[in-house]
Amino acid sequence: MNGTKSFLEEEINLSKFQLFSNLSPEELIHLNIEGTYLVYTRNETVYLEGSRLKGFYLVLRGILNVYKTGRNGEEQNLRFAKCGEIIGYHSIICQEPENCSVRAIEESVLCHIPYSTVMRLLQYNRQFSGRILQIACEELNETNKRLTSIAQKKAKENLAEILLVLKQKFDPDDANVLQIPLSREELASTTGNGKETVIRILSEFRRDKLIEIKKGRIKLLDIPKIKVIASL
Amino acid sequence: MNGTKSFLEEEINLSKFQLFSNLSPEELIHLNIEGTYLVYTRNETVYLEGSRLKGFYLVLRGILNVYKTGRNGEEQNLRFAKCGEIIGYHSIICQEPENCSVRAIEESVLCHIPYSTVMRLLQYNRQFSGRILQIACEELNETNKRLTSIAQKKAKENLAEILLVLKQKFDPDDANVLQIPLSREELASTTGNGKETVIRILSEFRRDKLIEIKKGRIKLLDIPKIKVIASL
DNA sequence: CGAACTGTTGAGAGGCTTCAAGCCTAGTGG
DNA sequence: CCACTAGGCTTGAAGCCTCTCAACAGTTCG
């Protein structure tokens, strides 16, 4: 992990993020002074479960894997965070050690916002605290949906669903190519299956011309059929 | 569903709930005027997924099953709500239709707090909005933990874990008897397994003197061993 | 008392995991 | 530049776990 403010100065205009769009000029100045910018390379860990964070992070660029470590130290993906999303805020709000770990999936740039700054904003800026509350509730809705799918769906249905979820989140050009470089193992940790199971199903999807894999990126060829398989 | 304010007048002192403990006398008066009290009998539905709620609910008495309907209309329990907890607040905060359903597991009394009241409190009472935020984050932590267990653990481990979670939440006297009348099917919908699987594991636990079942209530006899099975 | 529902047990099938071996690819060092 | 190596990817086979179907016992309630 390394990074200096000047290096990134240009690309950073925190007020363009919805979360900070309602800050007063003064609050923005403070935010810019107090926030620090960090670069993480692929597979680099941002923090581990159990850490006591000194603030939260805003994702400026890249994609991160938010996961828990479960049985036998096996990773379970909880969500992927991308530009504009925040991570590590539970820890701050609940005043508890973090309950999940975060690792960069591709080179990522984060902005660390220290505890005191967050607290000041939460206290004095209603729009900000309201937005955080909304973010938490949205995340909760997502997680509830995932939990239900993982608990009830078969591996194939579940994987098909995940592909659609990833498309929605990581296909900005709408070219049906998932712009997220996931290993088979990471994909498996997302669906809650073994690596081999995921590989077999992907092979099957490929054979049936539902998807295509080029340079590690998955392209969805037949979304209607994938939706049927996902039972959506 | 039926209930009148006078019927319950006595037992209701909303300010005793932590969520409302920081309300001004004026806010409390409004809350008392605007809140309505509702009684639900066992298995009665409070609301269904997709509803547009006109407020949220505080549980005054009883236990509720918060669940989603998944594959083939099968229920997936997300959590159980008891006295002092709130339900239906995502809907209000995200301004979206509710994403889960709620049903009374035993006779329950709820206080419905209308949208306008919630919004006023969220806007003007920082302690209140902060507390809601904290509740959301705690729920998120719980759900993340559940998701990981459901995805990774075997039925037996998972069921053992659920028993311990239920003990923590529904054993106020610390007598190791779970004061929550769950059907086998409801228990199965919590662990994400079939009913028969749960029954078999419970039988095994009973045979091994880990638990005892009397009048539908589960008593935990050997918590250390249950913890070992749960891999905790 | 019978009906309807919940709980229990058995048997069989199928899905998923696990182990194992070989392939492919990217990156390294000679 | 090429051979080599490490790590990810792929496929096969075996076995276990869980689901599903089915029959029956027990319980509750009108």
Residue A8: which pLDDT band, with cuts at 50, 70 and 90?
A: low
Any atom of strand C under 7 A from CB of B155?
no
Position A71 confidence tier, pLDDT thresholds 50, 70, 90: confident
Q: Which two tokens stand for residue A204?
A: 């099957």
Average pLDDT over residues A213-224: 93
User: Tell me: the pLDDT tens digits for B107-163?
Assistant: 999 999 999 999 999 999 999 999 999 999 999 999 999 999 999 999 999 999 999
Q: Taking the model in full, what pTM does it have?
A: 0.94
Q: What value, to the nearest 5°, has the Cα angle with vertex B148 and ends B144 and B152?
A: 175
A67 near A101, Cβ under 8 Å?
yes
Q: Which pLDDT band holds residue A9 (cuts at 50, 70, 90)?
A: low
In angstroms, the CA of B215 and the C1' of C27 are apart by 66
Task: List pLDDT tens digits, range A138-163.
Answer: 999 999 999 999 999 999 999 999 99
The share of chain A scoring above pLDDT 70, in percent, equals 95
Joined together, the tokens standing for residue B123 give 């806007």
- Output Rg (C-alpha) for chain B, integer angstroms: 19
| Residue B68 β-bridge partners | B76
C1' of D26 to CA of B86 (Å): 37
Predicted confidence at residue A197, as pLDDT, reads 97
Read off the DSSP letter of residue B180.
-
B43's CB contacts (< 8 A; 6+ apart) are B103, B104, B105
A202 touches strand D (CB under 7 A): yes
What does pLDDT average to over chain B?
A: 92
Averaged confidence pLDDT in chain A: 92
Mutation target among A140, A159, A229 for the B interface, most CBs of B within 10 A? A140
Please give the average per-residue pLDDT across A213-219, as a whole number: 90
Question: What are the chain A neighbours of B130 within 8 Å (beta carbons)?
Answer: 122, 129
**Confidence bin at A13 (pLDDT 50/70/90):** confident
Question: Which DSSP letter does residue A43 get?
Answer: T
Cβ pairs A/B, distance under 8 A: 119
pLDDT at B8: 54
**CA B68 distance to own-chain centroid:** 13
Return the pLDDT at A216: 85
Q: Report the pLDDT averaged over residues B26-52.
A: 93
Residues of A with CB under 8 A from a CB of B: 68, 70-71, 74, 76, 78, 89-90, 93-94, 96, 99-100, 122-123, 126, 129-130, 132-134, 136-141, 143-153, 157, 192, 231
Is A147 close to B149, i.e. CB distance below 8 A? no
- Chain B hits for A71, CB-CB cut-off 8 Å, are 152-153, 157, 231
pLDDT of residue A5: 46
Over residues B183-228, the pLDDT tens digits come to 999 999 999 999 999 999 999 999 999 999 988 899 999 999 999 9
Q: What is the pLDDT of residues B163-179, one digit of tens each?
A: 999 999 999 899 999 99
**Per-residue model confidence (pLDDT) at position A73:** 87
CA neighbor of B110 nearest in space, from B54, B63, B65, B169: B63
Burial degree of A15 (CB within 10 A; 0-12, 13-18, 19+):
middle
User: In this predicted model, what pLDDT tens digit does every residue of B43-59 receive, in sequence order?
Assistant: 999 999 999 999 999 99
Which of the four pLDDT bands, split at 50, 70 and 90, describes residue B104? very high
CA B224 to CA B232: how far, in whole Å? 10
Give strand pairing partners of A139: none
Which residues, at least 6 apart from A178, have a Cβ–Cβ distance to it below 8 Å? A163, A166, A167, A170, A171, A217, A218, A219, A220
Cβ–Cβ gap B136/A141 under 8 Å: no
Name the burial class of residue B17, with classes exposed (0-12), middle (13-18) and buried (19+) by CB atoms within 10 angstroms of its CB. middle
Give one word for B192, left, alpha or beta, with left for phi > 0 and alpha for psi -120 to 50. left
The predicted pLDDT at position B226 comes to 97
Residue B133 and residue A56 in contact, taking contact as beta carbons nearer than 8 Å: no
pLDDT at residue B9, as a whole number: 55
Region class of A20: left (phi > 0), else alpha (psi between -120 and 50), else beta? alpha
A209 touches strand C (CB under 7 A): no
Taking 70 as the threshold, does the pLDDT of residue A127 lie above it?
A: yes
Is B153 in contact with A71 (Cβ distance < 8 A)?
Answer: yes
Per the CB < 8 Å rule, is B149 touching A70? yes
Provide the pLDDT confidence category of residue A3 given band limits of 50, 70 and 90. Answer: very low
- Give the separation between CA B211 and CA B232, rounded to whole angstroms: 18
Nearest-CA distance from A91 to chain B in Å?
Answer: 9
A48 CA vs D19 C1’ separation (Å) = 37
3-state secondary structure at position B172: coil
What is the per-residue pLDDT for A6? 45
Share of chain A above pLDDT 90, in %: 86
Q: What is the pLDDT of residue B72?
A: 84
A208 touches strand D (CB under 7 A): no
